[in-house]
Structure 1
């Protein structure tokens, strides 16, 4: 990674954190120690009744490995975090939430948090953009009021706020749809290594100090839940348009995160935005608002790139990937994936096949679901695999889907 120095760009200090860039620590790129830890972790989960191997397994390897990376490859520590996440998911019926969430409610939630551009960075990692200025008091109040009504058939633990549970549907979308789709795109380095990260542009221009302060409690609660239950899905955060007072705001925000997460955050001055972004992304995949060539604005639907269009074989009248909750499910013994559109519209369930993808690197056998250091032997999740997103999704946690890395 290119390191920029000088006053033009301030990289938030990481307090000595050790960084390991993608694909280190990911499937196909594990050290002997990491491979052994992964085997021990899966064995421990199986003994505790939290994991069942098979074809498909109860949880996919990329999901399990995120928890192990978050806990620095200590199986016992990863087990604690994973078991707590399973309890949370069961208590709040997260999968029923995703399957039955009202599509309009889902789309309303998307407008308040980081949005997928439909493009990927130079390593194939999906690019999200988050414009904080849309989270004004009126928009947030209207959204929170809407979450008081029934928006899915999931029962909850009665402790987690509805507005945060709807946010979790977006994490499910990241881990169950966007990342598996990105993983099947082979126009990238290490094409057989699953993508479990996201790259995030966080635009904080036109945001007042009062607005930051009003969002503080929500941001903190969302960050804590996301860090706990959606670890290791963030690669880099680029903060753009920081006002003069942001150093004060950053002083209390950064205390919410561990040093490794902080080391992934870049605060860019205006004249450094394009030079730094083009280090990580092709200019054709950078929105015009930030100096690139992509004709995409914050409220637009994803601008799907040519590789996505190439690999998707549409069915049932679909010609593009739809709005609302969708996920990928292995079929034909894992040789293909089918995209299933779910959710409800005016109380009517939607469950339709949108398209299929012929996998470039299908699992060779059931045994290949065990850890492998050979590329091309990974498996993905099914709707019952409970893929879990991470607390680092789009952006400087300045609102929820953000800067936590689950460590």
Structure 2
């Protein structure tokens, strides 16, 4: 235990792949030094540092070690669930994501992984739906036309930027082209084939990148009370439920922009679906001047779309370019 606490990086054998064999390919070649896991003498005051490698208490390191050993012992589907973004994420950063999600309460973390393994079991049988058309039952461009979403760039911390526009979500049109089940399958596709690939590509280009999280912008422009129907909320809730149990702690920061006044009541409902620490990462900003400034604090201008105050391609152009073969023009 003393060697794990104070040993040099690489003192411990590398993690094994889900089938039980040792691996040193991609990401961290050896386990994170337990000494490096501990909090520095001067503790960080940034709440986002809590539970991150390099900021753990002795008690949290002990839970980390116990969880790590259990993941290796169980292997198989249990380990595949934990390392959903592959071993390239790195043991220390991957395991602490799960631990933070349950406040380092060991039994709760184990229960969460078991639940996540069950939740994703059916999607895993279908390899998480590699073909988006088969998943949705229609072309992705039609889906994006009804519910625009895209990854336009990366934040200053390396995290992908994700922009979603539920303010223009057309539920009636959505129900004509797909179903809630189709949307669910497409969400698995996005997380396991699109988002995952973006993280892996950035990791390969920047080996020190370990923050497998997202800076999210939720744009509520054009949102009306009539859009906050049970059907519309069920779409958001279904996606949120999957992410919270199967992809914990993947939200770095979320900006909810152009929020109308009546949204405060709806926000109260949505906050009930997520834990308090996650809610603390979410900023509601109605003033365009204020949220543009905040975006520039988090992201370089070239990574921000021009319709969001940056110098990158407009979101409508980016979506049309990505789905150009399907020929659907993007309104928002």
What TM-score do the two structures reach when normalised by structure 2? 0.69
SS in 2 for 1:266: strand
Contact 1:37 1:75 in 2 (8 A): yes
Matching of residue 213 in structure 1 with residue 229 in structure 2: yes
User: What is the deviation of 1:292?
Assistant: 1.4
Contact 2:130 2:193 in 1 (8 A): no
SS in 2 for 1:124: coil
Deviations 1:291-338 (A, max 9, x none): 1111231462599xxxxxxxxxxxxxxxxxx88xxxxxxxxxxxxxxx
Task: Describe the shift of the 1:99–1:28 C-alpha distance in structure 2 as closer, same or farther (beyond 3 A).
Answer: farther
2:128 is matched with 97
Where in structure 1 do 4 or more consecutive aligned residues deviate above 6 Å? none
Contact 2:123 2:129 in 1 (8 A): no
Structure 1: state its 5+ residue gaps.
Answer: 1-17, 148-160, 304-321, 324-407
Contact 2:129 2:185 in 1 (8 A): no
2:199 is matched with 179
Contact 1:120 1:126 in 2 (8 A): yes
2:150 is matched with 115
Deviations 1:366-390 (A, max 9, x none): xxxxxxxxxxxxxxxxxxxxxxxxx
Matching of residue 37 in structure 1 with residue 63 in structure 2: yes
2:294 is matched with 276
Q: Which has the higher contact order (CA 8 A, sep 6+)?
A: 1
Task: Describe the shift of the 1:300–1:193 C-alpha distance in structure 2 as closer, same or farther (beyond 3 A).
Answer: closer
From 198, 213, 217, the equivalent of 1:201 is 217
1:257 is matched with 274
Q: Which residues of 2 match residues 328-339 of structure 1 at below 5 A?
A: none
Task: Describe the shift of the 1:182–1:49 C-alpha distance in structure 2 as closer, same or farther (beyond 3 A).
Answer: closer
What TM-score do the two structures reach when normalised by structure 1? 0.57
How many pairs are equivalent? 266
1:360 is matched with none
Q: Which residues of 2 match residues 228-307 of structure 1 at below 5 A?
A: 228-268=245-285, 269-298=287-316, 300-301=318-319
Q: Give the distance between the partners of 1:175 and 1:35, measured in 2 at CA.
A: 29
Q: Give the distance between the partners of 1:138 and 1:232, measured in 2 at CA.
A: 32
User: What is the deviation of 1:72?
Assistant: 2.0
User: What is the deviation of 1:41?
Assistant: 0.7
SS in 1 for 2:188: helix
Taking only aligned residues, the RMSD between alpha carbons, in angstroms, comes to 3.3
User: What is the deviation of 1:83?
Assistant: 1.6
Task: Describe the shift of the 1:273–1:49 C-alpha distance in structure 2 as closer, same or farther (beyond 3 A).
Answer: closer
Task: Describe the shift of the 1:52–1:88 C-alpha distance in structure 2 as closer, same or farther (beyond 3 A).
Answer: closer
Contact 1:52 1:58 in 2 (8 A): no
Q: Give the distance between the partners of 1:28 and 1:107, measured in 2 at CA.
A: 43
More helix by proportion, 1 or 2?
Answer: 2
Q: Give the distance between the partners of 2:212 and 2:320, measured in 1 at CA.
A: 19
2:117 is matched with 86
1:224 is matched with 241
Matching of residue 141 in structure 1 with residue 172 in structure 2: no
Task: Describe the shift of the 1:45–1:130 C-alpha distance in structure 2 as closer, same or farther (beyond 3 A).
Answer: same
2:18 is matched with none
Task: Describe the shift of the 1:63–1:110 C-alpha distance in structure 2 as closer, same or farther (beyond 3 A).
Answer: farther
Q: Give the distance between the partners of 1:107 and 1:44, measured in 2 at CA.
A: 43
SS in 2 for 1:93: helix
Task: Describe the shift of the 1:167–1:287 C-alpha distance in structure 2 as closer, same or farther (beyond 3 A).
Answer: same
